[in-house]
């Protein structure tokens, strides 16, 4: 039986393993940690359960597709519900906004709270939808690095509408020109953080990201985000995939410019093809050190990272929902701190995720599990201990002001994740959450392809390669890889 080895059991690696097993490969997955899921994993602090990483679930059809591919009914093994409220937003000047999943209701909310005419927002959302529809085939569903992709009808239509993509201007300029109202501009600028970028640098093309959330909605798995990776892990095992945890790969074996297996300490494991779900930089630097290094790709600016406080809170806050954002008063200064001076801003934007709102078992009755995330620079050797202590004080002061509370006195359990720890736990280069940033207008084309031009039978999936970071894109990367690999 033709054998495939997948390095890394992140969500992209799990999905790739499932797809290759379905195609008829004998699949082995080697994972350095003693758990699967990569960033999408869970842990407990006392009586509180937390999702370690990604907290936003959109486009669940990509997860469902994996069960359907394997002739299973998704609802029988993985359940989720759509959120009526996508997120609640708080500004220091007292403005409040509820982002409803229903577009008409959201448009009315913006008109009522921010005095932005419904026609203005509908026109903006319509333009974002057109961008997505014209580019999804090229940027999301097929390899950007195969000439056949550019001969597809959908791609040719997209190229013909190049100027409508607003690639030559920034997301902030597009939002300011089209929306004008400062709170709404900041609201839509935030979506640049979905791929770890700066809204003042990333191209206007990125308005399509907000279309995805508004159009397809936001969801919550019945058992929490960790159930995405847990369910895919169980599916992979049902498909016959073999997993080896606590088994860090130390080298990808290459013979005559062909991937032929991997080495784990002193053991070698032969294979007919190898797929790396590991961050592309350590894949080359650590596992392929003797092969030609794609320096232009590997040296790109890294995306932002995060500092995450995991707090068990001994109180319930009815004004909060699953997703909550407390905005900085000066977004540009905040992003300048992250990307230019590589430090933390004194008035950060704070994201609070509370899964116990929808998964009651995640916290004791009358209490809540807070996942408090602040955008941060990737790790360049900063003193994260000192920076995190200062950040904690800033964050608590901000939450106290907005919630009229004494948050510090309510914290029963606490743990902190820094970019340094993210790098150690997930092998994400410099702790960057999304690989390379998308601050350059050509960033999408500069991401590493899902295959190697130099090494046959060598493939790549996950958030650091095409098409990008985040759960939906990681799942799409797995599909692209599977489509590139021939049936045995």
Look up the pTM and report it. Answer: 0.92
Burial class (CB in 10 A: 0-12, 13-18, 19+), 167: middle
Give me the number of domains the chain comprises. Answer: 2
Distances (CA, A) of 422 to 200, 335, 358, 464: 26, 20, 26, 14
Domain assignment present for 160: yes
The partner residues of 326 in beta bridges, in order of sequence, read 90, 350
In tens, the pLDDT along 463-482 reads 999 888 889 999 999 999 99
In tens, the pLDDT along 314-331 reads 999 999 999 999 999 999
Structure tokens at 167: 């690639």
231 lies in the same domain as 289:
yes
Average pLDDT of the chain to the nearest whole number: 92
121 lies in the same domain as 154:
yes
Rounded Cα distance between 186 and 199, Å, is: 9
The single residue listed with the structure tokens 């959450």 is 433
182 lies in the same domain as 232:
no
Domain carrying residue 167:
107-210
Domain assignment present for 64: no
The partner residues of 305 in beta bridges, in order of sequence, read 376
113 lies in the same domain as 195:
yes
Domain assignment present for 241: yes
204 lies in the same domain as 126:
yes
Domain assignment present for 142: yes
163 lies in the same domain as 127:
yes
**CATH code where residue 262 lies:** 3.50.50.60
Q: Tally the C-alpha atoms within 13 A of residue 302's C-alpha that lie toward its C-beta.
A: 21
Domain assignment present for 461: yes
238 lies in the same domain as 293:
yes
pLDDT band at 366 (very low <50, low <70, confident <90, very high): very high
206 lies in the same domain as 230:
no
Task: Tell me which of 283 and 135 has the higher pLDDT.
Answer: 283
Domain assignment present for 385: no
201 lies in the same domain as 276:
no
240 lies in the same domain as 204:
no
Rounded Cα distance between 348 and 335, Å, is: 9
Neighbours of 270 (CB within 10 A): 10
pLDDT value at residue 162: 45
Domain assignment present for 333: no
Q: Which long-range contacts (CB under 8 A, 24 or more apart) does 139-142 make?
A: 139/444, 139/467, 140/467, 140/473, 140/476, 141/476, 141/479, 141/480, 142/480, 142/483
The residues near 43 (Cβ < 8 Å, ≥ 6 apart) are 49, 50, 52
Q: Tell me: pLDDT of 138 over 60.
A: no
Compute φ and ψ for 459, nearest 5 degrees: -130, 165
237 lies in the same domain as 200:
no
32 lies in the same domain as 181:
no
Q: Which of 181, 210, 239 is the last residue of a domain?
A: 210
Q: Which of 161, 181, 210 is the last residue of a domain?
A: 210
In tens, the pLDDT along 215-254 reads 889 999 999 999 999 999 999 999 999 999 999 999 999 9
Q: Which of 210, 244, 271 is the last residue of a domain?
A: 210
The end-to-end CA distance of the chain, in Å, is 8
Domain assignment present for 372: no
């Amino acid at each position: 039986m033709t054998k495939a080895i997948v390095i890394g059991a992140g969500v992209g690696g799990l999905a790739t393993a499932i797809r290759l097993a379905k195609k008829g490969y004998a699949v082995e997955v080697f994972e350095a940690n003693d758990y699967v899921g990569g960033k999408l994993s869970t842990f407990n602090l006392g009586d509180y359960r937390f999702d370690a990483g990604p907290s936003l679930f959109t486009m669940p059809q990509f997860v469902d597709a994996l069960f359907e591919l394997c002739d299973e009914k998704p609802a029988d093994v993985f359940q989720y519900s759509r959120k009526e409220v996508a997120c609640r937003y708080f500004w220091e000047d007292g403005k409040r906004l509820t982002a409803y999943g229903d577009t008409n209701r959201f448009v009315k909310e913006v008109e009522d709270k921010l005095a932005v005419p419904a026609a203005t927002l509908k026109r903006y959302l319509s333009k974002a939808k057109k961008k997505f529809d014209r580019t999804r085939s090229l940027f999301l569903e097929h390899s950007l690095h195969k000439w056949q992709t550019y001969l597809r009808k959908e791609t040719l239509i997209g190229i013909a509408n190049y100027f409508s993509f607003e690639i030559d201007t920034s997301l902030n300029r597009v939002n300011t020109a089209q929306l004008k109202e400062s709170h709404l501009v900041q609201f839509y600028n935030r979506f640049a953080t979905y791929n770890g970028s700066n809204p003042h640098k990333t191209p206007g093309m990125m308005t399509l990201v907000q279309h995805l959330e508004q159009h397809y909605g936001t969801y919550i798995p019945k058992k929490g985000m960790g159930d995405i990776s847990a369910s895919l892990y169980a599916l992979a095992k049902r498909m016959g995939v073999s997993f080896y945890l606590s088994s860090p790969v130390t080298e990808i074996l290459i013979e005559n410019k062909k991937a032929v297996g991997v080495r784990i300490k002193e053991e070698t494991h032969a294979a007919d093809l190898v797929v790396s779900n590991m961050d592309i930089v350590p894949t080359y630097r650590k596992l392929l050190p003797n092969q030609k290094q794609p320096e232009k790709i590997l040296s790109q600016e890294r995306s932002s990272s995060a500092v995450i406080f995991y707090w068990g809170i001994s109180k319930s806050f009815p004004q909060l929902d699953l997703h909550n954002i407390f905005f900085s008063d000066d977004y540009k200064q905040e992003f300048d701190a992250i990307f230019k001076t590589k430090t933390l801003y004194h008035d950060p934007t704070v994201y609070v995720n509370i899964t116990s709102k929808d998964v009651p078992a995640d916290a004791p009755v009358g209490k809540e599990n807070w996942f408090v995330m602040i955008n941060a620079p990737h790790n360049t050797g900063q003193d994260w201990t000192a920076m995190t202590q200062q950040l904690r004080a800033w964050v608590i002061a901000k939450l106290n002001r907005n919630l009229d509370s004494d948050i510090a006195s309510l914290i029963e359990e606490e743990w902190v994740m820094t970019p340094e720890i993210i790098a150690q736990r997930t092998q994400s280069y410099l702790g960057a959450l999304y690989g390379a940033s998308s601050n350059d207008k050509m960033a999408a084309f500069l991401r590493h392809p899902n295959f190697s031009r130099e090494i046959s039978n060598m493939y790549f999936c996950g958030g650091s390669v095409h098409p990008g970071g985040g759960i939906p894109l990681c799942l799409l990367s797995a599909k692209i890889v599977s489509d590139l690999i021939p049936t045995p």
